């Protein structure tokens, strides 16, 4: 499994297994299947409501905890210093773990500075091995860096062939932040799995469109966390390290960029209000 060295020196797999929108009753089996087929990074979040199932799966997989990289995330409702410290403890309890490998601020809203202070403290206490953010535009990342000692290790953002975020990827690279993609397959939009350009490249390599997309992202230095509840696809998604896209193929995929999100703009006032009002607990 290919890894990256984060800006605090720890290593993280460039390919992981995401559990967003997997129902809790399906999560345990899906994670066990991923771990038993070579995955070593599992990405969850408090807002996904399946941390407990992830924790059970890690224990039952037969894979040593020390060999598994676990990511979870702080929801907007718990931004703030005291609230974030409590939310981390709740996540650890649900996961049944003494520490998580990566803890992310899930959305760039609320008291993110208070949350970051709590996360820095937890980092020093050994409850977290690395801290980062998700869905932060460069100005929000720069604001966080300017007011704290710890530079985010990771920024997890929407990134796929139709929204390639080259400016953000370059910004992250400048500050030693690893870019991680969510919605790598654009959640199937624009008929991505039958796209003529991607399909032609896939046929040339004897690979699937999904494998081509994941390989393209990794070759750009972007980490990926594809999700599936179908074991055959989970296994297929991991088979991306035995081929390489050439410069022409990379350029063909680059030409697919629309420069726009397929989901929503994190700077849209209505979206900010909607996400900020979403409660995951009493």
Q: Tell me whether residue 13 is exposed, middle or buried, using C-beta atoms within 10 angstroms of its C-beta: 0 to 12, 13 to 18, 19 or more.
A: buried
Residues contacting 255, CB < 8 A, separation 6+: 197
CA-based nearest residue to 145, from 178, 101, 110, 175: 175
User: Are 45 and 76 within 8 A, CB to CB?
Assistant: no
Is 20 a known active-site residue? no
Considering 48, 103, 109, 163, which one is annotated as catalytic? 48
**N- to C-terminal Cα separation, the chain:** 40
For residue 177, count other CB atoms closer than 10 A to its CB: 24
User: Are 182 and 225 within 8 A, CB to CB?
Assistant: yes
Taken as a whole, the chain contains a residue count of 282
CA-based nearest residue to 201, from 193, 130, 220: 193
The residues assigned a catalytic role are 48
């Amino acid at each position: 499994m290919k890894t990256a060295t984060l800006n605090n020196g720890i290593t993280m797999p460039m390919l992981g297994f995401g559990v967003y929108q997997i129902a809790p009753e399906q999560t345990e089996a899906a994670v066990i299947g991923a771990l038993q087929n070579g995955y070593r990074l599992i990405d969850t979040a408090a807002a996904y409501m399946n941390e407990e199932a992830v924790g059970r799966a890690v224990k039952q997989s037969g894979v040593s905890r020390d060999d598994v990289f676990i990511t979870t995330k702080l929801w907007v409702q718990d931004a703030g210093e005291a609230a974030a410290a409590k939310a981390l403890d709740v996540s650890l309890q649900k996961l049944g773990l003494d520490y998580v490998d990566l803890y992310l601020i899930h959305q760039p809203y609320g008291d993110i500075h208070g949350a970051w202070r709590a996360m820095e403290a937890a980092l020093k206490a050994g409850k977290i091995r690395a801290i980062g953010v998700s869905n932060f535009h460069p100005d929000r990342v720069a604001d966080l860096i300017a007011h704290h000692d710890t530079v985010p290790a990771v920024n997890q953002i929407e990134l796929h062939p139709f929204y390639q975020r080259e400016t953000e990827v370059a910004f992250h690279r400048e500050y030693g932040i690893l870019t991680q993609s969510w919605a790598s397959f654009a959640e199937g939009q624009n008929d991505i799995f039958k796209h003529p350009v991607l399909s032609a490249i896939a046929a040339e390599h004897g690979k699937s469109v999904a494998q081509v997309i994941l390989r393209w992202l990794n070759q750009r230095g972007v980490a990926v966390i594809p999700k599936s509840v179908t074991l055959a696809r989970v296994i297929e998604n991991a088979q991306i390290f035995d081929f390489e896209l050439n410069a022409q193929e990379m350029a063909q995929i680059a030409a697919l960029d629309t420069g726009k999100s397929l989901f929503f703009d994190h700077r849209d006032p209505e979206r900010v209000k909607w996400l900020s009002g979403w409660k995951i607990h009493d």
